[in-house]
Structure 1
Amino acid sequence: MDPDWLHELFSPYGRVGIRRLFGGQSVYLDGLIVAFVADDVLYLKSDAETAPAFDAAGLAAFSYLAKGERRVLTSYRRAPEEALEDPDALRPWVMLAQSAAGRAAAKKAGGRRGKPAAKRSRSTLAP
């Protein structure tokens, strides 16, 4: 997909960043990754809270084969085709993706803050 088109598509929702990602592109809004493109298909970030909306619309998760044997499902769901042509139809899906991305970032940040630094083992020798 054309990066200019992606920028135009997502610009109503925040500051857009487009980066290369494994032969496709990733889409960032206000610093958070909310979507990516693989094989000319747009996928939006989801999580346990937003998955039911994607399921209800029949929007499959992006998956890949790990080491050629095991299928891995990701937290990214196919964007509805009609939403790519209609900004009003895209809005609720982008809102879901932004909320999922925000929760993922908060969870990641929370996991780092509360962890104590690894303790170093000190060997003490008695005299």
Structure 2
Amino acid sequence: MDNEAIRDLFAGLGPVSIRKLFGGKGIYHDGLIIAIELRGELMLKADAQAAPEFEAAGCRQWSYTGSKHGKNVAMPYWSIPDSAIDDPDEMAIWARKAYAAALRSAK
């Protein structure tokens, strides 16, 4: 996803900055990372409070198999609900949830 498309997607939240991150992109709002784009997939930040909402919406949590002992490592990023990709109002709701999670984790 190109940077302009990412900015358009997050327009309902407000301005975002985009930086290279782990071979992908980090998306920041007010200096906090709220999402990542990795291998063409955009994922929103969620914490223990927000994760159940993402799960209930059918989102997938990003995980990978770590090199140490082959354990599965769950990351605090979740896919975006399919319905939010084409609905700016719904996307704004999910982006605000990601920003709230970022604020909580920054404390």
Name the count of aligned residue pairs: 106
1:73 and 2:74 matched: yes
In the TM superposition, what is the alpha-carbon distance from 1:12 to its structure 2 partner? 3.0
| Aligned pairs (5 A) from 1:36-115 | 36-67=36-67, 69-106=70-107
2:13 corresponds to: 13
In the TM superposition, what is the alpha-carbon distance from 1:11 to its structure 2 partner? 3.0
In the TM superposition, what is the alpha-carbon distance from 1:71 to its structure 2 partner? 1.0
Q: Which moved more, 1:3-12 or 1:18-27?
A: 3-12
CA contact (8 A) 2:12 2:91 kept: no
Q: What's the RMSD between the two structures over aligned residues?
A: 1.3
What amino acid does structure 1 have at the position aligned with 2:21? L
Identity across the alignment (%): 42
Query: Tell me, what secondary structure is at the counterpart of 2:20?
Result: strand
Q: Which runs of 5+ in 2 are unaligned?
A: none
In the TM superposition, what is the alpha-carbon distance from 1:59 to its structure 2 partner? 0.8
CA contact (8 A) 2:62 2:75 kept: yes
CA contact (8 A) 2:64 2:74 kept: yes
Larger radius of gyration: 1
Query: Tell me, what secondary structure is at the counterpart of 2:48?
Result: coil
More contact order relative to length (CA 8 Å, sep ≥ 6): 2
In the TM superposition, what is the alpha-carbon distance from 1:46 to its structure 2 partner? 0.4
- In 2: Cα distance, 1:16 partner to 1:95 partner: 12
In the TM superposition, what is the alpha-carbon distance from 1:65 to its structure 2 partner? 1.5
- The runs of at least 4 consecutive aligned structure 1 residues that moved more than 3 Å come to none
Q: Could you report, residue by residue, the CA deviation over 1:42-101 in whole angstroms, capped at 9, with x for unpaired residues?
A: 100001111111111121110112117111001111111221111012121111101000
1:3 corresponds to: 3
Instruction: Calculate the TM-score normalised by the size of structure 2.
Output: 0.91
In the TM superposition, what is the alpha-carbon distance from 1:40 to its structure 2 partner? 0.9
Q: Which runs of 5+ in 1 are unaligned?
A: 107-127
